[in-house]
Amino acid sequence: MYAIFPMKLKLFIFLFFLFAIVHIKASVNDKYLINNITSTNGLSNSAVLTIFQDSDGLMWFGTYDGLNCYDSKTMSVFRSKSPYNEDFTFKSNIIHKICQADNQCLWVKTFLGVARFSLVKREIEEIYTDSENYVVYSNAKGDSWVVNGSELLYFNTTLKRFVSLGNIIPDAEKCTQALVTDSGEIWLLYAGSSDVVCFKIPSFSVQKSIKIELEKELIKLHNVSVNRYFVQNDSFSFIDAENNLYLYDVAAKTKVYIRNISDLMQQYGKIENITSLQEDVIIAFHLNGLVSLNSSKEYREEVIDRSVRIFSMTKDRYNDIAWVGTDGQGVLMLTKNNSIAQTLELTRLSPLLKRQVRSIATDRYGGLWFGTKGDGLIHIPEYEKNWGKKEAVELYSGSSRQALSDYLPWENDNRVFSIHESQFHDGMWIGGTNANLLYFYSFEQSRMIKVEGFDTKGNTVEIKGVYEEDASTLWVSVNMLGLVRLKVDFKGNRILITDQEEKIISKDNNDVYLVFFSMANQGDSVLWLGDRGKGLVRYNIKDNTYKLISFQQKLNRPVDDVLSFCQYDENKFYIGTSTGVVSMKYEEDSVRAISYIGQEHGLSNDMIHGILPDKNGFLWMSSNKGLNKYNPMNGRIHTFYGNGIHIEEFSDGAYYKCPYSGRLFFGGVNGLLYLSDNSTAVYSPFQNIVLRDFWIENKRAFSPNYEEDGRNGWEIDGEKVFFRFNFIVPDFVGGENIEYSYMLEGYDADWSIFSKTNDVTYSSVPPGKYMFKVRYKRDINENNEKILMIPIYITTPWYKSPLLYIGLVILLFLLVGTILHFFPSFNPVDVFVGKGHIDDSKVDIEETSQEVMYYGVRFTIHSVEQMDVLEKFVAIVENNLDNEELGIPFIASELNLSTRQFYRKFNEMTADISPNEFIKLCRLEKAADLLKNTSLSILEIISMIGINSRSYFYKEFIKKFGCTPKDFRNTPSLGDETNDRK
């Protein structure tokens, strides 16, 4: 099946608005989640009268103003006046029913009649006259029946019309529902009866001259009469005369008793529909919302949401979802709460809590502590019980305390960068900034105690890490002081520093290491320190020796800006940097092996703020753009969104593994989360990949015109053609986590890296036979064999065919031979080649490649296409320097290329520099220009070039220009070189 119409969203925009577009809320019952699909998603009207799911898994919503198709990402709308197809027209936009027809079509019922809608051509094939009273019923194959009062009709797929079988429906006024079984039988369901009337025909495609053989059967359904039926796809439920609720399996012809619901009907009123969701039963009441019958508690009633007025409810065929059509609230997507993470968004606790989380810890009493960059220290006692409960939350700034209900933003500097539970005292060590530098929270005294006597040497400092060697010795990493050993003495209600020693760590006795953002202990003798620009330090606290480890030269990448550190096993370590992850094996006091992991391997972003291992051996990496799961065994990476993960941008230092529960915590700009104990998403079976759109030279191609090995595709005429695919897996539960990989077999050398990209463009593809393939995954350890395969056959234009050229050459030789025969002195070379042509050809050959310079980087150009790509690339970089998202995925998307295609095209033009290095070069050159030609502050300039780390900017600027930005601005001669390089 193919798309209705495309709505291309660039990946970064989709991710940014993901949680704003589809409103996700917990129901009154925490077992369920309700996703609200509204006009924000493109729904044409908030009154949803009917819902249907087609054979590809796409959802169709019939509203009070149009037909809608939803694929989990985009919404397509069809109305009587459609901008997408001028010939498309319904008699009415009020859609009452949708069901499957044969040959990839749908039946769409309005109050003015029944229309047959083609999913391939996206148009109405026919509107059937005199069908205003038709009620169409069909199965998943499209076997279709119509009930029209007492008349029974079927749709003949050969004649393409409804054929009447006569007025044969007994007691038609009591027939309130019907369903069509997998074998094509129609079951007529009667209110006030205990029997079902079944009709069957041998075929839906008989010729007109052949008389149809109609079979009728009476099925005894129940021992008492049935009052109401509720149909769901190929099964139904019913309520008998005694108000007992049963579920009925049509295939097995068995029924299951649920419970008597007299009390519910009296309390909540009219029922619109009933369905099962896993083991529970969901009842949709017309005026009183959704109620669950809990199977584990003898189907006891549990309210889900009573705030909605309901028109319809449909069970998803492939996922555990109940789709609910409402009056005024759009579509509700009801699912069981199987989140892999629990997220605490700070603004939900208080709108005044707006600062990012920078440190996390738990205590032996079940409490959760996390430090913020401005809102102080937050404590949730017994966090499992009090998660999200405002009344339990406490806030601290130094020794000051506020209850959340009374919270007013602190007036002093209240950033908290490190929290460490004491192993020798009953409390927590808290590290912050000058105003509240080092504190100890005493559980015994239930208060904060200031650690007195810390000498900052007149610097503005931040404590980034704390390690307890023994009851009186602390090791702290302090920005601008480096590694510091403190001797502390507990004296009554005071804690005093009795000795302070700064450990000098330097390279060649002049390059001192002072900016450590991460600190982790290995056993009781080794501290690992991550420096912002100089790599790692392995420090032995027993003998005060250290080892300096730089990765930059070994990997030829700027990976010495260390943000996070993770010990994976005894000798294996993973280091998160501002430009990717470094894997290191350290044995016998030396680095034995290192490797790099970056965006080109599947990371969502290169800035890695935290790395933690789970109990299954997988690594979770928090980044500037999502949470990545990495399998060290095979190198697979998967980025998670949704499933309870409602933080997209994570923060430095905010990662922590609880020693009591093993839970993994990560903090970010809007709160923090912890992964559930199994850290594994619960997925439905794999669904097929659906091709939503195919474009040739910016024109949508509707119907395939080529077939190979039983697969439909397209034959395209052209020398070098442009075409585009848009595809989707309509997974409405785990779709946020799906990543795709694709290749054009015969053109691409290998599969692309897995990514969220579901819109792929190819340009300048030469004639030949190709096979476009797409696969997907939802996690790193899934084995999914679902592959979409589409044959593409590009033919050579007739005027470029080899036979035509051969014929022209033969004709030319015949013509020349004839002329020479009659005019022996004629020289054809002078006529057809011309003087000087050989010399000109030499010049043309020499000019087929040329070198161009941008920002001092040499590019070798071999074709007009390469020059076009390079010029566009440079323009995109120059126009987006202030965009922090500027990187390879962003540029590839702007160029309508895959990441891998862009890498290949860029590397064909230069091997001197990577795309990311070129971006950094442009940013630094722009900064130099602004320093020389404007009076903007350095912080303003940093913001204008899209760099979010002041220390990183200074380090890279000094590395390039040999001086600080301030000195560069104050030295006139330094600016001349910069202008010359552009």
Q: Which pLDDT score is estimated for 10?
A: 38
Q: Are residues 448 and 485 in the same domain?
A: yes
**Tokens, residue 751:** 């599969």
Q: Name which of 464, 516, 469, 485 is nearest 359 in CA terms.
A: 464
The per-residue b/e assignment along 74-112, b for 16 or more CB within 10 angstroms, e otherwise, is: bbbbbbeebeeeeebebeebbbebbbbbbebbbbbbbee
Residue tagged 């007994």 (tokens): 170
What phi and psi values does residue 209 have, to the nearest 5 degrees?
Answer: -75, -15
Instruction: Find out whether 427 and 443 touch, Cβ atoms under 8 Å.
Output: yes
What confidence tier does 830 reach under pLDDT thresholds 50, 70, 90? Answer: low
Which residues lie below 8 Å from residue 795, measured CB to CB, with a gap of 6+?
715, 716, 717, 718, 767
Q: Are residues 906 and 774 in the same domain?
A: no
What confidence tier does 782 reach under pLDDT thresholds 50, 70, 90? Answer: low
Q: Are residues 795 and 806 in the same domain?
A: no
Of 462 and 959, the one with more pLDDT: 462
Instruction: Find out whether 429 and 419 touch, Cβ atoms under 8 Å.
Output: yes
Q: Which pLDDT score is estimated for 804?
A: 67
Task: Give dist(CA 682, CA 915) in Å, integer.
Answer: 38
Q: Establish if 680 belongs to a structural domain.
A: no
β partners of residue 765: 721
Q: Are residues 653 and 715 in the same domain?
A: no
Q: Are residues 599 and 737 in the same domain?
A: no
In the chain, the number of structural domains is 5
Q: Provide the whole-model pTM.
A: 0.67
Q: Establish if 479 belongs to a structural domain.
A: yes
Task: Give dist(CA 579, CA 412) in Å, integer.
Answer: 34
Return the sign of the alpha-carbon dihedral for residues 581, 583, 589, 592: negative
Q: Write down which residue in 308, 336, 364 finishes a domain.
A: 336
Q: Are residues 665 and 796 in the same domain?
A: no
Q: Name which of 314, 318, 311 is nearest 95 in CA terms.
A: 311
Q: Which pLDDT score is estimated for 847?
A: 45
Q: Are residues 367 and 234 in the same domain?
A: no
What confidence tier does 955 reach under pLDDT thresholds 50, 70, 90? Answer: confident
Task: Give dist(CA 776, CA 788) in Å, integer.
Answer: 10
Amino acid (one-letter) located at 191: A
Helix (H) or strand (E) holding 310: strand 310-315
Q: Which pLDDT score is estimated for 622?
A: 95
| Residue 92 φ/ψ region, left for φ over 0, alpha for ψ in the -120 to 50 degree band, beta for the rest | beta
Q: Are residues 364 and 478 in the same domain?
A: yes
Q: Are residues 818 and 893 in the same domain?
A: no
Q: What is the DSSP string of 818-859?
A: HHHHH-TT--HHHHHT-TTHHHHHHHHHHTTSEEEEETTEEE
Q: Are residues 615 and 719 in the same domain?
A: no
Q: Are residues 205 and 285 in the same domain?
A: yes
Q: Are residues 345 and 476 in the same domain?
A: yes
Percentage of the chain lying above the pLDDT 90 cut = 56
Range of the domain at 841: 802-846
Compute the mean pLDDT over every residue in the chain, rounded to the nearest whole number: 87
Q: Establish if 448 belongs to a structural domain.
A: yes
Say if residue 13's pLDDT is above 50.
Answer: no
Return the sign of the alpha-carbon dihedral for residues 936, 940, 946, 949: positive
Of 801 and 45, the one with more pLDDT: 45
Encode pLDDT of 591-619 as tens digits.
988 999 998 888 988 999 999 999 989 99
Instruction: Find out whether 892 and 906 touch, Cβ atoms under 8 Å.
Output: no
What mean pLDDT comes out for the span 494-523? 89
Task: Give dist(CA 175, CA 32) in Å, integer.
Answer: 35
Q: Which pLDDT score is estimated for 826?
A: 63
